Amino acid sequence: MRWVKKGLVYIILSIAALLIFFPILYAFLISFMTGGELLQGNIFPERFHLENYQKAFDRLPLAHYLLNSLIISLSVMLGQLVVSAMAAYAFVFIPFKGRTLLFFIFISTMMIPWEATMIPNFMTIQKLDWINTYQGLTVPFFAIAFGTFLLRQHFKTIPKELHEASEVAGLSKFRFFIKVVLPYCKTSLVTLGAYGFLTTWNMYLWPLLATNNDSVRTVQIGLKQLQTQEMATEWGVVMAGVIVVIIPTLILLFLGQKQLQKGLAQGALK
Range 76-135, binding another protein (CB under 8 A): 82-84, 86-87, 89-90, 94-97, 99, 102, 106-107, 109-124
Closest approach, Cβ 20 to another protein, in A, equals: 6
Which residues fall within 8 angstroms of residue 181, CB to CB, at 6 or more apart? 85, 89, 93, 155, 158
Q: Is 44 in the site for another protein (CB under 8 A)?
A: no
Q: Is 265 in the site for another protein (CB under 8 A)?
A: yes
d(CA 204, CA 76): 15
Residue closer to another protein (CB basis): 47 or 111: 111
Q: What's the gap between Cα 145 and its chain centre? A: 16
Residue closer to another protein (CB basis): 67 or 118: 118
Residue closer to another protein (CB basis): 129 or 161: 161
Residue closer to another protein (CB basis): 11 or 50: 11
Closest approach, Cβ 54 to another protein, in A, equals: 19
Query: For 31-111, where are the alpha helices, taking DSSP H only?
Result: 35-40, 51-59, 62-93, 99-108
Residue closer to another protein (CB basis): 50 or 205: 205
The residues in 153-212 that bind another protein, with binding defined as CB under 8 A, are 159, 161-162, 164-165, 167-171, 173, 175, 180, 183-184, 186, 198, 201-202, 204-205, 208-209
Residue closer to another protein (CB basis): 47 or 95: 95
Listed residue (196, 176, 220) closest to 66, CA to CA: 220
The residues in 50-79 that bind another protein, with binding defined as CB under 8 A, are none
Q: How many residues bind another protein (CB under 8 A)?
A: 105
Residue closer to another protein (CB basis): 109 or 215: 109
Closest approach, Cβ 227 to another protein, in A, equals: 5
Which residues fall within 8 angstroms of residue 10, CB to CB, at 6 or more apart? none
Closest approach, Cβ 224 to another protein, in A, equals: 6
The total number of residues written for the chain in this structure = 270
Question: ∠ at Cα 47 (41, 52), nearest 5°?
Answer: 80
d(CA 196, CA 143): 11
Q: Is 229 in the site for another protein (CB under 8 A)?
A: no
Residue closer to another protein (CB basis): 19 or 47: 19
Closest approach, Cβ 34 to another protein, in A, equals: 13
Listed residue (252, 219, 200, 201) closest to 57, CA to CA: 219
- Amino acid code (one letter) for 270: K
Taking the CA atoms of residue 111, residue 116, residue 117 and residue 119 in that order, the dihedral angle to the nearest 10 degrees is: 180
Closest approach, Cβ 51 to another protein, in A, equals: 18
- Integer CA distances (angstroms), 260 to 105, 197, 265, in order: 26, 12, 8
Closest approach, Cβ 47 to another protein, in A, equals: 20
